[in-house]
Amino acid sequence: MSSSSRDLTLDQSESDPSSSPIKTPNRKTRKSQTDRTCGSPTPINKPSKKDTVDQLRTGLATLGLDTKGKKETLWRRLVRAFNHLGFSSPPKEEAAAKHEETESKGEDGRLNQRYKYFLCFDVEATCRGGKEFNWPNEIIEFPVVLCQYDQGQGKLERIDTFHSYVRPTWRPILTEFCISLTGILQEKVDDAPTFLEVLKMFEEWLEKHQLIDEDRNLRDALWVTDGPWDLRDFVPKQLHITPLTSSPYPPYFLGPYLNLKAAVHAVLSEQWRRKQYALEHPNAPPNSRALSRITTASTLNRKQRDESSKRSGKSFWLGITGMVEALGLGDFEGRAHSGIDVRTFG
């Protein structure tokens, strides 16, 4: 399912008992919060494992962030902030990073994977017909498949699966549109635990696999989603409708993530551009771009994505079935709006 990130306000004619508006944080909100906390962010050096505890705390204090915790916790917190705020490294540090990347290659020349574990995630949520971006969707299916990267073989291995249907509490009756779209029947959610109960079971599952640290941040893992909507829209909406009492937002939901839709677009569009260049310049030797590896590391904003698509002359923003076909993985099996089927593809 897809949705855009906008402020979420419950229709007052259908509001909850408190009749108070509920708003979902979006990118603008998060940016303004950063600006209020830090003003214009002061550039800091890229965090290094070699930094001392005092250096890490100084960097965190500069950004107005919590300076408590062990060295590993401080380092991870500063790295997340560094990446989130988009600081750029000086040329000297960029050169050092390239050298470090070269040193991180395995014996077969393949780069060592940055993350060891991948949490493939695709929720389904309550909905009704039409594009209503401010509709207060409640999660009704919460599936995650855990994959571990095998550096030696250069591939992912499926380790375990967490899956639960979820009972909605604000709008407990599913619409006919929702049932038709997701294939989830009313009795499935009626017999299911609530979101807070599912979240407790999920955290125990994460702890079993040692995927979160003492601050409940992801450890050596990242999310994999088909688009930004699951983590950007549906989880925040759900946590506003059924808020946690212990903390406003579980830190692991703020961990790094791979937008599969954007990654596939980046790879396929670059392959297409290189092919077109080769066709237009049949006698030219391969340039440095043609010989470089294709990366999905760069994050593009909407304007950059639109410009990139115009330059390439071809759009590769595909749905699940389109991505499966384009990557030569055969036919997609299952329902496109079934979380347990889609997260298996991820």
Nearest to 294 by CA among 311, 273, 314, 308: 273
Contact (Cβ atoms closer than 8 angstroms) between residue 47 and residue 75: yes
Q: What is the DSSP letter of 218?
A: B
* CATH hierarchy code of domain 1-41+87-250: 3.30.420.10
Which helix (H) or strand (E) is 222 found in, with range? Answer: strand 221-225
pLDDT reported for residue 210:
97
pLDDT value at 147 more than 60 = yes
pLDDT value at 6 more than 50 = no
pLDDT value at 250 more than 70 = yes
Each residue of 114-124: pLDDT tens digit? 899 999 999 99
Query: Is pLDDT larger for residue 180 or for residue 332?
Result: 180
Each residue of 34-84: pLDDT tens digit? 343 334 445 567 788 788 888 888 888 887 788 888 888 888 888 887 776
Rounded distance, CA 209 to CA 148, Å?
Answer: 11
Q: In terms of pTM, does the model score above 0.85?
A: no
pLDDT band at 220 (very low <50, low <70, confident <90, very high): very high
Q: What is the DSSP letter of 246?
A: S
Mean pLDDT over 124-131 rounds to 91
Rounded distance, CA 256 to CA 81, Å?
Answer: 11
Nearest to 150 by CA among 140, 160, 158, 162: 158
Residue listed under structure tokens 């929720």: 123
Each residue of 287-339: pLDDT tens digit? 777 777 777 665 455 555 555 555 556 778 788 888 888 777 777 676 555 54
Q: Where are the domains positioned within the chain?
A: 1-41+87-250, 260-345
Mean pLDDT over 152-177 rounds to 94
pLDDT reported for residue 28:
43
Nearest to 25 by CA among 170, 233, 226: 233
Judged by phi (left if over 0) then psi (alpha if -120 to 50, else beta), residue 56 lies in alpha
pLDDT reported for residue 213:
95
